[in-house]
Structure 1
Amino acid sequence: MEKKICQSCGMALGDPGFYGTNSDDSRNEDYCIYCFAGGEFNEELTMEEMIEQCAEMYAMNSGGDAAAVEAARTHMTELFPTLKRWKK
């Protein structure tokens, strides 16, 4: 089974509490709670701004390992253009 990820930030959507919500408060199957709530994106960001925001969060959670953060940023730069929010 394919692992579901947020179509904005790439976060894993395994736990039901991580899913965003639609305007009727139903669960949104595409986006996480950090990106999408009440039927709207929580922040209007460019894809590049989202990558930087996610890289900063990753840095905080990885103890600031510069090589790991740069590897994550590279991965996000490849992944994000394939996600629903950023796909052209």
Structure 2
Amino acid sequence: MSNGNMNLTLKVWRQKNSETAGKFVTYKAEHISPDMSFLEMLDVVNESLTHKNEEPIYFDHDCREGICGMCSLYINGRPHGPKRAIT
């Protein structure tokens, strides 16, 4: 029986700095609980990347509660952040 966890495919824009070309990179996020926030899911993906000696996905965050606005993200081309309380 399924425990409700999800397997997701992420397409993340990777760009080393403003002077280099960027590209979308596809990552698998596996066994993600529906109770996790988006930032918690990124933590799981980064743990997997680190174990494979790959560069983690960098993102700004502070309170991780959708209050300060530091972690505002674009998901599916739409802004998410403190006004929607989605982090």
Bin the TM-score by the shorter chain. Answer: 0.3 to 0.5
TM-score normalized with structure 2 length: 0.35
Which structure has more relative contact order (CA 8 Å, sep 6+)? It is 1
Structure with more of its chain in strand, by fraction: 2
Structure with more of its chain in helix, by fraction: 1
